[in-house]
Each structure stands twice: as structure tokens, then as C-alpha cells.
Amino acid sequence: FWDFLILFFCLPVVIFNEITKKRLLGDMSCRVVPFMEVSSLGVTTFSLCALGIDRFHTATSPQASTRPIEQCQSIIAKLAVIWVGSMMLSVPEILLWQLAQDTSPVSGIVTEYCTMKPSSNLPESVYSLALTYQNARMWWYFGCYFCLPILFTVSCQLVTRRISGTEKKTECRGTRHTQRDSHLNCTIIGLTIIYGLCTTPENVCNIVVAYLSPDMSKQTLDLLNIINQFFLFFKCSVTPVLLLCLCRPLGQAFMDCCCCCCEGCSPDTASSEGSADSKLKTEMSSSIFFNKPRESPPPLLAIGTPC
């Protein structure tokens, strides 16, 4: 959902600015777009950490096969912590950026661009905090939004494989349980690889700009900024598709939902039977990932008289 927000709001603003050299929504977009982009990095980072912890708990659980499905309230609480924490860590971005204008000496056209410079109208304490964040922003990016999710995911995967390899295979950890864990591990590893590949150019550019910015022209800095945003939009586009392809129950549920929306205009018996079949398929596919205890079938009733 956050990737959708990035593509829906930030991508048109960036394209409009590159075409017209005017900033859509003015100074507000200069503050909101970086805030949403950094929040997106935080949401992805802490979500990968939460998935790694969940995989570790599953590997160390003595009765993983009978583990009940997590309640919706618990999942919403975790998502709320991840989202609120990511947005709180991104609040300094609102104070750091502001709109600036530049007049071309050749054509005389006024162009608008966003510059990383705290406003002098801020209170003294807030202004000092914004300057401190600006000075430490490069290493904060590199440590929290690049090293943390990659190292955390790799560590959880290594520990999980270590525990799974040393423990004895019992009946509760059969082929279905192993297949379920392998699918989920591949999903987490795939998301981490995509995230690492898409955030590497931004971290490299941040380090280069921090040490070589006096020797670089404004056109070069703008080009590096566009490259960084392109990789961010690419990550936001690929991540949902990769998640739907690797996580089979989620992808099947998504396709069934799309089919139901397309066939909703003409409900009939065939469509109701198709929806029932799709629901049954979704439940059967979801059993690969969650071994939900099934109820025993009702006993067969005797037919006829006692004679």
C-alpha cells in the first residue's frame, strides 16, 4: 500500500518537475515527497526485520505445525508500529527541504527545484536539530535503511538454517512444513535482494555527493537525484509483483479478487460455483503456509430403520 502511495503521489510530481521545470504544489511537494520516500524506506526496512523475526520464531517453535494463524488485530498492531515509527523517523525531512528558484543566464527562464537547506525561520532549537540531521543524514541512511535490513535478514536466515539443520526431523516437521518454510524464506530473500539492489545506487551517490559536492555541477547533482528516484520507483513497482508471484496464496487470493470484481456485474449460478471453487482452491493453497487445524468430518448418519 505504501508503494502504491509512492507511485500515485510522488511519481507524477517528479515527472511534472522534469518536464516543466516547475514544482507541482510548490513548497509543499518539496517537503512531502522526501518525507514519503524516506518513510517508504523505513516501512520496507522494518517490515523485513519483522518477517525475519517471524521466521526465527517459526524455526524455534516446538510445535510449528500446529501454530495457529495470527489474529488480525495482532497484525494490524505490528503494521501500526512499523508505519508510525517509519513516519516519525522521517519527520526531519520536512524541516530539511525547501523550494528554491534559479534563473538561466542564457534563456532567462526561471526554474524551480528543491534544495536541502533548513529554513532560517525555524526556532533556534529546531534549526540546530535540522542541521545535525543534515550532517548525519548520509550515514543514517546507510546504517538504518541499507545495512540494518540486509544484515538482519541474512542473520535470521543463517540462524534459522542452523537450527533447522541441527534439530531432528520429527513428524510435525514433514514435507509440507519444509515446503512452506522454503517458500516463505525465498519470498523474504527475494524482497531483500530487490531492496538491496535498488538502494545501493542511492547510498553510493550520497557518499559521493557528501565528499565531492563542491567539485560537481548542479546538472550532475540533478542527474544523480533523478537516478536515485528512478530506482526507488522501480522498487515500488517490482516489490508488489514479486510478492504476489512468490507468495502463492496471496497471489491466488489477488487473482480471485480480480476475477470476482470482473464477474460481479453478471452474477449467476456458474459464477457462484466458480467463486466457491476459487475459494476452495485458495484455502487449499493457503494450507501450504499455515497448518490450520481442521475440524474432523461429521459422523455419517445411519440411513433406514433400526431393523
**CA 129 to CA 178: how far, in whole Å?**
49
| Mean pLDDT by groups of 10 residues along the chain of 307 residues | 87 85 81 89 90 79 62 87 92 85 72 80 84 86 89 84 62 57 78 88 81 72 83 88 78 77 53 49 47 48 48
Q: What is the biggest distance separating any 2 CA atoms in the chain, rounded to whole angstroms?
A: 107
pTM over 0.75: no
Domains of the chain, start order: 1-61+71-255 (1.20.1070.10)
**CA 206 to CA 203: how far, in whole Å?**
5
Place of cell 518513510: 39
pLDDT digits (tens, 9 = 90+) for 8-46: 888 888 888 888 878 777 778 888 888 998 999 999 999
Start-end of H helices in the chain? 2-5, 11-20, 27-60, 72-89, 91-96, 124-142, 148-166, 175-212, 218-246, 248-263, 269-286
Place of cell 501500526: 80
As a whole-number percent, the residues of the chain with pLDDT over 70 amount to 74
